[in-house]
Structure 1
Amino acid sequence: MGEEKWEGKAVVELPGTGAEEAWGALEDFCNLQKWFPIDTCYRLEGVAGEPGLTRYCASDVKGATMWAKEKLLAMDPIQRCLSYEIVENNIGFKSYVATFQVAPLPNGGCKIEWGFLSDPIHGWTFQDLKGYVDSTLHFMANKIQLASSNSSSSSASAA
């Protein structure tokens, strides 16, 4: 019998950022380096916003390049949701699928959910992966919120 899958979700609320603004950051699939703590991300093949779009992401970590090729599985701009899978990497992922969804909050702002389903990763525990997803989502949310507040203040001063 095979190992069990790891499944988890992280959620973060962005009280000062609208769902459309946050979605605008996430739907730009091949510019992840703007929001995610990596050095580079670019399109390898496919059409922006279309399933099959493949990106290459990499960072230098302690003198070694850690990289992944990720393929967009689905994107729904109406539901503000996208799913992708890691198709190749040197980080240790065998099977990994993630889903991001942005939803408005009742009193303004939005929340971002990052769900994942993964084979166990050699050298990691489930809590390692869950902690990585959670801390990275908070990092992304802070960058998105900062960009949102900067664009709000610059448009307010231009008025």
Structure 2
Amino acid sequence: MGEESKSLWEGKLTVELTSVAAEQAWPALEDFCNLHKWIPINTCYHVEGVQGQPGLVRYCSSTVKAVVEDEADGADDAVESETTVKWAKEKLLMMDPVRRCLSYEVGENNMGFESYVATLKVIPVGGDGESVGCLIEWGFVCDPVEGWSLEDFESYIQYCLQFMAKKIQDECSVTR
């Protein structure tokens, strides 16, 4: 008998930036090794490869605190905080500045990803022939991640998109 096949998770989530044009938002995504400026992670830096070129690898990490009950001393209210670092190396597969999109895959990681490919796009939202805003679309295809439901995973991505939108809007309002 063969191994049971598990179905892939696939999805596309978007966030709208009503006051930021696509050409203003794209530089945030195009700067592949500075993801920590745009989503809630602690660090992101260049590991190898050429900026903007397929094969570029970035290292991303976040410190996660979990509350753990301390049952050793018998107190019902005793809790400890356990800190772990979640990390991943992510490889740029494609970047198209004209179409304002990029794709990357998660490689080595301790987050439970076996396979994960994401595509991010900045899509103009027009008004009378001019871009007056944009959508950021985050598409993904991955194996199910242990400990997560698809709904929880999509909720996390939507949270990251909302965080990113606010950061980009704030940045663009300062630079105007």
TM-score for both structures, normalised by structure 1: 0.94
Higher radius of gyration, 1 or 2: 2
Which runs of 5 or more structure 1 residues have no equivalent in the other structure? Answer: 153-159
- SS of the residue 1:55 aligns to: strand
TM-score for both structures, normalised by structure 2: 0.85
Higher helix share: 1
Q: Partners of 1:34 and 1:21 in 2: how far apart? A: 15
In structure 2, the partner of 1:157 is none
Q: Partners of 1:4 and 1:43 in 2: how far apart? A: 33
Structure 1 stretches of 4+ with a deviation exceeding 4 A read none
Identity score, percent: 58
- SS of the residue 1:133 aligns to: helix
Residue by residue over 1:20-57, the C-alpha shift from the partner in whole angstroms, topping out at 9 and shown as x without a partner, is: 11101100000011101011100000000000000000
- SS of the residue 2:33 aligns to: coil
In structure 2, the partner of 1:156 is none
Letter in 2 for 1:47: V
- SS of the residue 2:157 aligns to: helix
Shift of 1:109: 0.9
Q: Partners of 1:21 and 1:106 in 2: how far apart? A: 14
Shift of 1:18: 1.0
Shift of 1:9: 1.0
Letter in 2 for 1:86: V
Letter in 1 for 2:56: L
Answer yes or no: is 1:20 the counterpart of 2:60.
no
Q: Partners of 1:39 and 1:132 in 2: how far apart? A: 16
Q: Partners of 2:64 and 2:147 in 1: how far apart? A: 16
In structure 2, the partner of 1:101 is 121
Q: Partners of 1:137 and 1:9 in 2: how far apart? A: 11
In structure 2, the partner of 1:118 is 142
In structure 2, the partner of 1:138 is 162
Which runs of 5 or more structure 2 residues have no equivalent in the other structure? Answer: 66-82
Count of aligned pairs between the two proteins: 152
Q: Partners of 1:36 and 1:15 in 2: how far apart? A: 19
In structure 2, the partner of 1:80 is 100
Q: Which residues of 2 match residues 24-35 of structure 1 at below 5 A? A: 24-35=27-38
In structure 1, the partner of 2:175 is 151
